Chain A
Amino acid sequence: MASLRVRQILLDVLAIDQPDPPGLEGDTVWRRLCMSAARSVPVSGAGVALMTPTGHGGTLAATDGPAEVMENLQLTLGEGPCVNAFRDRRPVLEHDLTKAGARWPGFAPAAAEAGIAAIFAFPLQIGAIRLGVLDLYRDTPGSLDRLQLAEALDYAAAATTILLDRQYATSPGELHPDLADTADSHREIHQATGVIAAQASVPINEALLLLRARAYSEERPLLELAHDVVARRVTFHSEDDHHE
Chain B
Amino acid sequence: MSREQRLAQVFVELADTLVDDFDVIDLLHTLCERSVELLQADAAGLILADQRSVLHVMASTSEEAELLELFVLQTDEGPCLDCYSTGEQMVNIDLAEVAERWPRFRAATTAVGYRSTHAFPLRLRGQVIGVLNLLCTNRTTLSDTDVDLGQALCDIATVGLLQERTVRQAEVLAEQLQSALNSRILIEQAKGVLSERAGITVDAAFTLMRTHARSNQRQLGAIAGAVIDGTIAASDFQPR
| A residues apposed to B, CB below 8 Å | 1, 50, 52-54, 57, 125-127, 129-131, 163-164, 166-168, 172-175, 179, 183, 187-188, 190-199, 204, 230
Contacts and interface: CB of A to CB of B under 8 A. Distances in A.
B133 to A, nearest CB: 28
Nearest to A229: B192
Given A191-B202, A194-B193, A50 B188 contact: no
Contact of A191 (B170, B171, B189): B189
B228 A131 contact: no
A200 to B, nearest CB: 10
Contacts of B175: 129
Interface in B168-204: 170-171, 173-185, 188-197, 202
Question: 7 shortest A-B CB distances, which residue pairs?
Answer: A194-B192, A190-B188, A198-B196, A194-B193, A191-B192, A126-B174, A129-B174
Contacts of B178: 52, 129-131
A199 B171 CA distance: 39
Contacts of B179: 172-173
13 contacts: A126-B174, A127-B167, A129-B171, A167-B176, A172-B179, A172-B180, A173-B183, A175-B184, A183-B181, A183-B184, A193-B192, A197-B193, A204-B189
A185 to B, nearest CB: 12
A195 B228 contact: no
A190 B185 CA distance: 6
A194 B181 contact: no
Given A129-B171, A173-B179, A173-B180, 6 more contacts: A126-B171, A126-B174, A127-B171, A179-B177, A194-B192, A194-B195
Given A126-B170, A168-B173, A190-B192, A174 B180 contact: yes
B185 A52 contact: yes
Interface in B65-95: none
Contacts of B173: 126, 164, 167-168
A131 B193 contact: no
**Looking at A53, A167, A183, which has the most chain B CB atoms within 10 Å of its CB?**
A167
Q: Is the interface of A mostly helix, strand, loop or mixed?
A: helix
Contacts of A195: 192-193, 195-196
B166 interface: yes
Given A194-B188, A197-B228, A164 B177 contact: yes
Interface residues of B, number: 30
Contact of A194 (B163, B177, B184, B196): B196
Contacts of B163: 1
Nearest to B227: A194
Given A52-B185, A126-B170, A230-B202, A172 B193 contact: no
Nearest to B186: A190
Given A190-B189, A194-B190, A195-B192, A131 B184 contact: no
Nearest to A128: B171
Given A57-B181, A174-B180, A131 B195 contact: no
Contacts of A126: 167, 170-171, 173-174
B166 A1 contact: yes
Which of A163, A164, A166, A174 has the largest count of B CB atoms less than 10 A from its CB? Answer: A164
Contacts of A54: 185
B189 A193 contact: yes
Contacts of A163: 174, 177
Given A194-B188, A198-B197, A164 B170 contact: yes
A77 B228 CA distance: 23
Contacts of B177: 131, 163-164, 166-167, 175, 179
Given A172-B180, A174-B180, A175-B181, A194 B189 contact: yes
A167 B175 CA distance: 10
Contacts of A196: 192
B206 to A, nearest CB: 10
Contacts of B191: 191, 194
A53 B192 contact: no
Contacts of B184: 175, 183, 187
Given A53-B182, A126-B170, A183-B184, A198 B176 contact: no
Nearest to B180: A175
Interface string B154-173: 00000000010011001101
A126 B172 CA distance: 10
A54 B192 CA distance: 15
Nearest to B162: A1
